Structures are given as C-alpha cells and as structure tokens.
Amino acid sequence: MSDGMSVAATATHVEHVGHEKLGFVRTYIFSTDHKMIGRQFLFLGLFMMILGGLMALMIRWELAWPETQVPGTRWIPEPFMTDGYMNPAFYNQLFTMHATIMIFFVVMPILVGCFGNFLIPLMIGTRDMAFPFLNMLSFWVGAVSGVVMLAGFFVPGGHAAGGWTSYAPLTAVTQYTGVNWGQNIWCISLILLGISSLMGSINYITTIVNMRAPGMTFFRLPLVIWSLFIVAILLLLALPVLTSALAMLLLDRMAGTSFFLPAGGGEPLLWQHLFWFFGHPEVYVLILPAMGIASDILSVFSRKPIFGYRAMAFSMIGIAFLSWVVWGHHMFQSGMNPALGTSFMISTMVIAVPSAIKTFNWLGTLWGGSIRFTTPMLNSLAFVSMFVIGGLSGIYMASTPVDIFIHDTYYIVAHIHYVVFGGSVFGIFAAIYYWFPKMFGRTMNETLGKIHFWPTFIAFNCTFFPMHILGIGGHMRRIYNPMQYEFLQPLQPVNVFITVSAIGLGFAQIPFVINFFWSLFAGKKAEQNPWKANTLEWVAPSPPPHGNFEAIPVVYRGPYEYSSPEVTEDYLPQDRQLARRHAVAAH
Amino acid sequence: MMSWLPENVSTYGKDIDRLFYLIYYITGATFLLVAVAMVAFLILYRHREGRRARYTHGNTTLEIIWTIVPAVILVVLSFMSQATWGNIKSRMPPADVHVQVTAKQFNWEVTYPGPDGKLGTEDDLEMENEVHVPVDKVVLVHLKSKDVIHSFFLPNFRLKQDAVPGREIQAWFQATKPGRYELPCAELCGFGHSGMRGWVHVHPADEYDKWVKEHWPSA
C-alpha cells in the first residue's frame, strides 16, 4: 500500500461493518459476498471454456481430416465414437454443445456473472449487491444449470444435436434427430440458466440505480458499469422470451402440443422469431461488457481520458434500443416476407453506426496518449482490432442480396468468432489480467502474459480469418464431411490450415493456465492500485475485505481524469478531493 | 480473396456479386484506414519518459463527422441492396419452366409437371436429387418440405432459399451456362445433413427438348 492513498481523506465518517468470522462453507461455497460470487462465476466459466475448446478441436479435426480417427478419443464409447471414428450424429452434438457452452456457460458467466458481480459494487462505491442472497442463488442456479447441461451427454440418444439455435421442427420431434432426453435437458438447463440470469440482472439494475456512492452520478460511472447496466436491462427483457420459447418447445416434445409443427396447425418460423428476438439482444449481451472493459483499459494505459465519454455511453444505449428490431436479419432466407427483409436490413445497417462511433472513439483515445503495452492493454487493443473485422464482416450479411449467398456458410462462422472470440474473449483476457490483482490480491506475470497473448493473437487470426475464404467459396456450416461435395474439395487445404492453427490456438492457452494458477498462489503481492487507475475499486484494498471499503468513498469527478493539468501525477482518482483552488489571481 | 467465389451462372448472380465486391472494397478500405491509424498511434504515442498524454475529452465536430459518414454510406448501401433484393424476391419474372422440389431427410424429391404443364396431376414426373432445366429460361422452383427445415442452395446461381414444412415457397433462377451444378442442403436437417445434395443439370435448348422427350410420358 505504498502508492498515494486517498481513502482516509475522503471519508466523511467511518462506518462499522460487521466482520464476524464466517465458516468455510459460508465463505467459499454458499457465499453472499459479491466478490466471492464473482470468483465462482469465473471458475465456472474457465472450466467450461476448456470443455468447449476441446469440443471445438474435435470438430476441427473432423473437418480437416474427415472420417479419420480423432487422436486421443478412443475411450469415447458408442454411439458417439466408434474406435476413435466420429459418428455424424455425435458431430452434430459437438457443434451444438460447443456453441451452447461457449455462449451460455463461458462468455455470459465470465463477462456478466463474474465481472458484473465483482465490479459493480466496487466501482460504484458500495459494500455489496442490493440482494446478496439472490446473488448467491443466481450463481448456484447457474451452476446447477451447467451440471444439467453436461448431464445431457450421458442419457440414451446422446445430447441435443439441432445446433445452438435449435430450429424447430428438427428439435421438436424426437424422430428427426433421434435425440430424446438430450434435447429436453438442453431446454431445461437453459430455462434454469434464464432464471439465474434474471436474478442477476434484477440485482445489477437495482444496485446501480440505488446504491451509487455519494457524488457518483450516472455520467460519472465508468463505461464498464454503463455496459453492464445496459446488459442487465437487455437480459431482463430478452430472457423471458427465450424461456417462453423453450417451454413451448418442451411442450411440443413432451405434451403433444404443436406450436412449431405445421401438421398440428403450428408454425416453424415462430420458433425462429422467438429465438432471435432473444438471440440478437443476446449477441450484444456478449459484446457490450467487453466494449466497456476495453474502454476502461484503453484509457488507463493511454493515460488519457476516454475520447467522447458521452458518445460512448449514448452509442451503447443506441445499440440497446436497436438490438430489439434487428432479429429478422437472421431470417432473410427463411421464407419470411421479403418486405420484412428490407426493414430488417435497414435497421441492421443503422445498428452498425453506433459500433463505428465506438471504434473511432477508441482510436481517439489512443491519439496523443502515453501508451503502456501491458498485457491487459495488448488484449484490449486486440479486442478493438478484431471487433473492427467482426463488425465490418457483419455488413455483408446485412445486405440482403449478399446474404442470400453467404447465409449458412462459414462466412457466418468467421463473423461470429471475430465478434465473440476476437471481441468477447479478448475482452475476458484483458479483464482477467487487469483485475486479477484486485480479485486475488496477487499480480499475474507480465512475461507469461505476453507469451500467452502473441501466439493467441496470431493463431486466432490464422484460425478464423481463412473461414471467410471458406464462406466465399460456399462452404456450408454444420457439415460433417466437406469432401462429400465436389465444389468444396479444392477448399480442403484451407480446412487443414484452419485446423492446424486451431490446435496451435489451443496450445497457446497453456501459458495462461500456468500463469493463472501460479499467480493465484505464488504471484507477486498486489498493491492497492498497481495500474495507477482512477476508478473506485482501486481505493479498496487488494483483495477488498467483506464490505469492500473502510469508509464509503465520495466521488468528485468522472472516472477518466488521466494526465489532468490539475495534478502533477498523471492520474486523479474519482474520490480525491482537491483543495479548492483560489481563483487565479487576476493581474 | 473474392476469387474464391464459385463461378456465377445465373442472371441475377452478377448483381449479387457486384454488391459483394462493392462491400468488400468499402469494408477493406475502412479496415485499412482504422488499422493504419491504430498502428501509427501505437508507434507515435508509445510511452516515453517525460512526455505527458494530451488531456482532452473529445471533439464534437469529429463525433458528428464519424456518425454521419458511416450512416450515409450504410443508407446508400441499403438502397443499392434493395434494388437487387426486390428483383430477386418480389418482382419475379414470368416463369418458363416449373419444377417442384420437396425436401425430406436427406434427399431432394424433384417433381416435373409433365406434358400438361401442371404440377399435382397424374402425368407428373418424379426424380430424386436431379433437377433438369433449360439454359436461358426462367425456372420457378416450388419449394416444399416433408419434415424439417432444409435449405435449397445453388452456390453457382447465388441462390439460397429455406424449404419450410407447411408452406410452399417460390424461388427462381435463370441459368446462363449449360453444365452440371451441385445442390447441397444448407440448413442443418439431422444426422444425414452432410451429404444431402443433388445436381442441377442445365441443358442447351435442343438437349433439354431431347431430355423431355425421353423422360416425360407422352400425353
């Protein structure tokens, strides 16, 4: 605690926080402390990321060397694998579960569950969430949902195999996929996860609206808090739609209703409308927190205020509103009325504008800065550049005629991975490296961090950029053996290159795992404010005790006052009270 | 990169490709602009002892410029796209030839109207996974599905249309070059999705007449 501390200076009065010793179970398992719940979500997400990643590698092996033995899989029994040869039905289960796990059990728990929980009370300057018990319940329902999801692999017929979008009627009738309980379990698990997210989002919204520290106005909130606030609202409104759709699908499967079955008077496209009405806001749930994280980190390591703070906040609000009217762009070729296609094309083109605004403001933040290339900064820069590619490739799909060709091809796969891996996952890495000292009281190793970053960045691009080429070549998604098609055979070397890169990308994560666990137990003890940052979490000790702050800080300014002429150092924490300056003597 | 596009052999395919190229150039230029600016800033403004970062909170003129310029480009792009979209989807030309394609796990059932020119009559001809059409004629495909959603994808024709159970969807194309073109299913339709494909045979006029004489029961 050697750096400039301002805790005492701003304390108006010292509150006494209950510090009764809690047992092991209440501290580490059924904890109501937002920081412990945040850590729990982090471990859940990282564990699931390993599973999702291994599934991706099996998918890639199959695509590069179709119908050959997948190394190291001979232990997987029938009917999934036959002596290491993958069965087509299992291939479908793998890509379904890869996407389901990565979206619902990796990116959401880490970005929203972990960083939402950990950062909101600390950054707005309060002691905990509004509803700590609900918060604990949110994690444990989420964890149960994860266990239920994984259990789907162990039921007869195997796991859900209809893609993460689970289009009916394929998923509504058992005989179409041969999957019975796997699909039911998929629905039940996501309903549980929806309940978990609802509890979380109610908590986030209530906390941010009501519990900000004195002086913390909305326009003094860090952008990461803005992003989490907006995400909580999106989740609150979008998840009930998914839950309803899942309940209808379950009823179609188990109770003989026909919501999605034309034979009984139902409509297959209804599922798509409901799913994407949830699904498109969901995409922004995955990317907005990463945008907020990158905004904060870029400002800290450029030692410069964020460029266009209000434009940044308003563009996120704009994205939030527009995200409700773009869902139909997933359905241009679905048989929906072409005039609707036109409307959704226009709304989709419009939603690209706030993303462009954000990108230019990030560049503006770098301009004239004093840039430090720390590991969190490198990952944030990777976020910006990869998000630019992912955003620009979205314009191709927005244009309805071009979408006729690239819909359901690898072009879409490339796009979503640039947004969700290039965007969200680099955002996750940036956030872990940046807040690790606050979370665990120790600092991650910078050298290992860079050994992790550079190979990941290169292997990521070698893996996902060539998927654009596959898409332009017409390579369909979700096929098990591209060599079955004459027009795809010349593209096969690209598939091999992608798979080799993907394996490299997998290996590139080893330094991260080593760094994470080594630092957890043996990393350098973290200072209270190792990055010399302004926001309130750095006012609390590392790691913050139960109750976070010795005294609730008072906020005097926005979060990005770096290199301010008012002070000699290049940062000015939100809670530091400057002596009232006498009017400059008029001569 | 765009050279990987499959050869285009349909009338409206070139309009789609033109838009595809246009967006490629626009997004390519934008990416270069952003990437060059970013790399330049990272080099120019890297941390050096004794230099302090510029203290600025933004610039309203710049905000307005970089809101309006992308907005205008995107609106123009929407209008250009709409012209092509309307031609393909809403203003279909009168059909010369009708074919009914019924998708099912995991085949395309192709039905020809037969000598009476009407679908759904006794003299219809049924084939599996083979679509025979004449070159330079407007072919109207009546798309149906018996079970799940499939997607009728003709990469060389720049045509993709989902086949949805419970409804008939119409799609059309006009081939510009005879040949044999692959017809994969593009929407996940079950464990046999991979490998569900047919062929579209585009015949020159005389060859098509010969095929009709050979296969269609004479009235």
The token pair that represents A57 in the structure block: 């590698």
**Which pLDDT score is estimated for A115?**
97
In chain A, what residues touch B182 (CB-CB under 8 Å)?
485-487
- pLDDT tens per residue across span B197-210: 999 999 999 999 99
Quote the pLDDT of residue A27.
85
- Own/partner pairs, B58-63, CB within 8 angstroms, 24+ separation: B58/A307, B58/A308, B58/A309, B58/A310, B58/A311, B58/A361, B58/A364, B59/A307, B59/A308, B59/A364, B62/A308, B62/A360, B62/A364, B63/A308, B63/A311, B63/A357, B63/A361
Give the model confidence (pLDDT) of A303-326 as tens digits: 999 999 999 999 999 999 999 999
**Topology of the domain covering B97-215:** Immunoglobulin-like (2.60.40)
pLDDT for res A14? 42
Look at residue B217 in the predicted model and tell me its pLDDT: 72
Nearest CA of chain A to the CA of B93: how many Å?
16
3-state SS assignment for residue A513: helix
What integer pLDDT is reported at residue A86 of this predicted model?
Answer: 95
- Judged by CB atoms closer than 8 Å, whether chains meet at A311 and B58 is answered as yes
Q: Are B197 and B130 in contact (CB under 8 A)?
A: no
Alpha-carbon distance A376 to nearest alpha carbon in chain B (angstroms): 15
Give the three-state DSSP class for B138.
Answer: strand
Q: In this predicted model, what pLDDT tens digit does every residue of A313-362 receive, in sequence order? A: 999 999 999 999 999 999 999 999 999 999 999 999 999 999 999 999 99
Task: Say if residue A573's pLDDT is above 50.
Answer: yes
Residues of chain A with pLDDT > 70, as a percent, come to: 95
* CA pair distance A277, A272, nearest whole angstrom: 8
Query: For A56-65, b where at least 16 C-beta lie within 10 A, e where not — what string?
Result: bbbbbbbbbe
pLDDT at residue number A350 = 94
Closest by CA position to B157, among listed B140, B137, B172: B172
Residue of B74, B106, B156 to mutate, testing the A interface (most A Cβ within 10 Å of its Cβ): B74
CA B111, CA B102: separation in Å to the nearest integer?
8
Assign B216 a pLDDT band (cuts: 50, 70, 90): confident
Q: Between A18 and B107, whose confidence is greater?
A: B107
Q: Which of residues 45-84 of B touch A (CB under 8 A)?
A: 45-48, 51-59, 62-63, 66-67, 70-71, 74-75, 77-78, 81-82, 84
Q: Do the Cβ atoms of A478 and B77 come within 8 Å?
A: no
Say if CB A185 and CB A148 are below 8 A apart.
yes
Residue B166 touches chain A, beta carbons under 8 Å? yes
pLDDT value of residue A587: 43
Q: What is the mean pLDDT of residues A13-38?
A: 77
Compute the residue count for chain B: 219
Report, as an integer, the average pLDDT of B182-186. 97
Q: Nearest residue on chain B to A341, judged by CA atoms?
A: B85
Beta bridge partners of B130: B199
CA angle A187/A191/A192 to nearest 5° reads: 120
- The pLDDT, as a whole number, for residue A581 is 59
Give the pLDDT score at B117. 84
Q: Which CATH architecture has domain B2-90?
A: Orthogonal Bundle (1.10)
**Mean predicted confidence (pLDDT) in A22-37:** 90
- Helix, strand or coil for residue B127? strand
Q: Does the structure show a pLDDT above 70 at A582?
A: no
List Cβ neighbours of B73 (8 Å cut-off, separation of 6 or more): B26
A-B C-beta contacts closer than 8 Å: 277
Question: Distance between CA B159 and CA A402 in Å, rounded?
Answer: 10
Q: Across the interface, which of B63, B77, B151 has its CB nearest the CB of A399? A: B77
Q: What is the pLDDT of residue B125?
A: 92
| Rounded average pLDDT over B100-125 | 92
ipTM of the complex: 0.96
Q: Which residues pair with B144 in a beta bridge?
A: B102
Tell me if A294 sits within 8 A of A427, measured CB to CB: yes
Percent of chain B with pLDDT over 90: 91
Domains and CATH numbers, chain A: 7-261+275-538 (1.20.210.10)
Strands (E), B51-203: 97-104, 107-112, 125-128, 130-134, 138-145, 150-154, 159-163, 169-174, 179-184, 197-203
Q: Which residues pair with B162 in a beta bridge?
A: B151
Q: Is residue B130 a contact partner of residue B199, using CB atoms and an 8 Å limit? A: yes
Among A67-81, A182-196, A439-453, A467-481, the least confident range: A67-81
**Cβ contact (<8 Å) for B186 and A491?**
no
DSSP E strands, A480-526:
524-525
Candidates B53, B59, B160; nearest CB to A303: B53
Structural domain boundaries of chain B? 2-90, 97-215
pLDDT for A499 equals 98
Interchain CB distance below 8 Å, B71 and A262: no
